[in-house]
């Protein structure tokens, strides 16, 4: 794994942290602005489901996406292909001897055909090089100028025959000079391949001189000898159609021999080497030993590494993250969080459940304080919990759930006045669920307070008030069976107190009647029975009963 622009990776150390810092600042600014903008009382309902945690997740996604984009532009790459690049291609001119001696069949089928096949083979190998073709016999002619068009070159090669050059002979010097005219660009490597049987019947010295001159112009000559050193008789089709041996002017048959020494000298003079065309691998040897090293020696680089780009992976990751960020809902659905609310099962459990619900709605990023308050609450240390929740509620004035929890703790700490006060605050909550629960708990508080009443009237009023509050809770949530039960229960209690009051009054009435009939003992018995049955009555009528007892005592003493 490498990076084309590895310097850009330093951005990873700069941009994401700066972005994170910016987001941290933005979060704080948001909260500050929200507090200024919206009344604390409405905040929780207007921003329900919008939690800083959700926002943080979104920010994290964006930061991650940015990091991946930075990796993308650094262009990660893995693996490479080696690609052949010939910056200095060769210019190769192939000069093929087309003299009649090339028809000698000492190498099958004959020398010329083998030379042509060898030329085409070379063309395949030197596909990146430009090639040209010179035919020579007694004269030389540029059959095909330098070209990269292999087809054109091929056609020129295939068109060669011993009649290509009408003048008989083997003018190697002429061939070298004609080849030189084919090279026009000076920068490229110039190579001449000489296919010949080396029988220069012009002048061997002239051929060598031409080679030396060509070497001065930067031409390298490789000579390929075709034929055998022993020589062979050359047959040729005569004008009358009969085949005959080639004869010299005196009518003697001419034996064509491969002049290897001349070819060797020419090659050496012009920086190349001599190869006899034998076997199948001559062209391979020539190309690998003679031609292929040439560009390498000068430009120094033949293979370039083409790296495999891998940028699509980080790019796709970044896109996916951005898409996820886009589709991540800004606020959770209200029903989703509140469906967790369980309806309270009993008076005591109801408050605990409500408390847990309240805490469950707390933002995830909240400090540890609500947790410690909850710990206090759960361990039964209600007074501590109350203090902590109250302190928390003062800090976070916008969160009525904390007030609710404080009220709850107060209730459990049997500090009913405080609980009443706190729950009453919560009944103003815009969150109807919370409001309903506050009413329910307020009813509980009222009920408990009523039980502490000193007389029947207070009891009755207290129970009535509790029933009224429960009724509010029932109205807010008609499905709340507990609230309904408590509502009926409080109503029933108030009713019982009223019944009791009438019963007491009736008892008092009969006691009074007994007093009027001066049956003090009877009156005392009635009152005592009343007191025994109803503790509350004992308190209420304590004076009356005391008087009755005194009178009764006196009466009994004085009565025989």
Partner 1 sequence: MKIYAEIDKLEKAEAVINKYTEYKELFAWVVAGGLALLLIEIVLGQTALRRLP
- Tell me: does residue 214 bind partner 1 (CB under 8 A): no
407: its two tokens: 């009220």
Tell me if 225 sits within 8 A of 274, measured CB to CB: yes
Q: Count of CB atoms within 10 A of residue 247's CB?
A: 12
Q: Hey, which residues between 320 and 349 contact partner 1 (CB under 8 A)? A: 322, 331
Min separation Cβ 266 and partner 1, Å: 32
What's the gap between Cα 250 and its chain centre?
92
Binding mask 359-398 for partner 1 (x = CB under 8 A): ----------------------------------------
Min separation Cβ 47 and partner 1, Å: 4
Which residue is listed with tokens 């008030």?
465
Query: Toward partner 1, which CB reaches closer, 53 or 542?
Result: 53
Query: Toward partner 1, which CB reaches closer, 38 or 484?
Result: 38
According to CB under 8 A, which one of 26, 82, 303, 505 is a site residue for partner 1?
26
515: Cβ contacts below 8 Å, ≥ 6 apart: 523, 548
Tell me if 227 sits within 8 A of 107, measured CB to CB: yes
Q: Hey, which residues between 44 and 83 contact partner 1 (CB under 8 A)? A: 46-47, 50, 62, 65-66, 69-70, 72-73, 75
Q: CA–CA separation, 443 vs 435, rounded Å?
A: 12
Any long-range contacts for 519-525 (C-beta under 8 Å, 24+ apart)?
520/548, 520/551, 520/552, 520/555, 521/552, 521/555, 521/556, 523/548, 523/552, 524/548, 524/549, 524/551, 524/552
Query: Toward partner 1, which CB reaches closer, 49 or 168?
Result: 49
- Tell me: does residue 127 bind partner 1 (CB under 8 A): yes
Min separation Cβ 126 and partner 1, Å: 12
Query: Toward partner 1, which CB reaches closer, 88 or 228?
Result: 88
Query: Toward partner 1, which CB reaches closer, 66 or 142?
Result: 66
Tell me the three state secondary structure of residue 224. Answer: strand
Tell me if 217 sits within 8 A of 189, measured CB to CB: no
Listed ranges 23-31, 205-213, 283-291, 438-446: which one lies at the site for partner 1 (CB under 8 A): 23-31
Q: CA–CA separation, 414 vs 393, rounded Å?
A: 20
For residue 109, cis peptide bond before it (omega within 30 degrees of 0)? yes
According to CB under 8 A, which one of 22, 80, 245, 313 is a site residue for partner 1?
22
Q: Hey, which residues between 145 and 184 contact partner 1 (CB under 8 A)? A: 148-152, 155
Binding site for partner 1 (CB under 8 A): 4-5, 15, 19, 22-23, 26, 29-30, 33-34, 37, 46-47, 50, 62, 65-66, 69-70, 72-73, 75, 127-128, 148-152, 155, 306, 309, 311, 315, 322, 331
């Amino acid at each position: 794994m490498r990076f084309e622009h590895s310097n850009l990776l330093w951005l990873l150390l700069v941009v994401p942290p700066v972005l994170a810092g910016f987001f941290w600042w933005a979060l704080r600014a948001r909260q500050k602005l929200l507090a200024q903008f919206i009344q604390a009382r409405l905040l929780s309902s207007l921003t329900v489901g919008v939690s800083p945690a959700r926002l943080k997740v979104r920010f994290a996604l964006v930061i991650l996406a940015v990091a991946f984009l930075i990796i993308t532009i650094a262009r990660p790459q893995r693996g490479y292909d080696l690609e052949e690049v010939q910056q200095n291609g060769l210019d190769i001119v192939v000069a093929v001897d087309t003299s009649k001696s090339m028809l000698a069949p000492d190498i099958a089928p004959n020398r010329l055909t083998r030379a042509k096949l060898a030329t085409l083979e070379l063309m395949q190998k030197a596909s990146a090089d430009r090639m040209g073709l010179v035919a020579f016999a007694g004269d030389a002619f540029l059959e095909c100028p330098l070209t990269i068009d292999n087809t054109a070159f091929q056609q020129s090669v295939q068109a060669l025959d011993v009649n290509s050059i009408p003048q008989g002979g083997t003018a190697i010097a002429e061939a070298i000079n004609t080849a030189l005219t084919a090279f026009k660009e000076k920068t490229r490597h110039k190579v001449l391949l000489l296919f010949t049987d080396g029988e220069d019947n012009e002048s061997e010295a002239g051929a060598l001189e031409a080679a030396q001159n060509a070497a001065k112009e930067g031409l390298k000559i490789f000579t390929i000898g075709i034929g055998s050193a022993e020589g062979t008789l050359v047959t040729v089709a005569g004008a009358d159609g009969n085949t005959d041996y080639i004869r010299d002017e005196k009518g003697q048959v001419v034996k064509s021999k491969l002049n290897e020494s001349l070819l060797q000298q020419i090659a050496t003079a012009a920086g190349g080497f001599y190869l006899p065309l034998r076997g199948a691998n001559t062209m391979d040897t020539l190309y690998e030993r003679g031609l292929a090293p040439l560009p390498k020696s000068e430009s120094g680089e033949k293979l370039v590494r083409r790296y495999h780009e891998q940028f699509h992976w980080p790019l796709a990751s970044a896109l996916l993250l951005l898409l996820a960020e886009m589709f991540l809902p800004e606020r959770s659905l209200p029903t989703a969080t509140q469906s967790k609310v369980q309806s309270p099962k009993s008076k005591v459990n109801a408050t605990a459940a409500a408390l847990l619900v309240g805490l469950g709605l707390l933002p995830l990023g909240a400090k540890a304080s609500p947790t410690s308050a909850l710990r206090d609450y759960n361990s039964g240390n209600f007074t501590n919990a109350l203090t902590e929740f109250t302190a928390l509620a003062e800090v976070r004035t916008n969160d009525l759930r904390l007030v609710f929890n404080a009220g709850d703790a107060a209730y459990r700490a049997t500090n009913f006045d405080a609980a009443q006060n706190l729950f009453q605050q919560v009944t103003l909550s815009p969150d109807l669920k919370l409001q309903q629960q506050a009413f329910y708990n307020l009813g509980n508080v009222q009920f408990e307070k009523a039980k502490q009443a000193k007389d029947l009237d207070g009891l009755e009023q207290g129970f009535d008030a509790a029933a009224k509050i429960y009724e509010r809770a029932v109205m807010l949530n008609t499905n709340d069976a507990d609230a309904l039960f408590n509502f009926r229960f409080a109503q029933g209690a108030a009713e019982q107190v009223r019944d009791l009051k009438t019963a007491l009054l009736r008892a008092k009435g009969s006691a009074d009647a007994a007093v009027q009939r001066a049956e003090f003992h009877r009156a005392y018995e009635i009152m005592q029975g009343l007191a025994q049955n109803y503790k509350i009555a004992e308190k209420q009528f304590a004076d009356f009963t005391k008087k009755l007892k005194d009178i009764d005592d006196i009466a009994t003493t004085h009565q025989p």
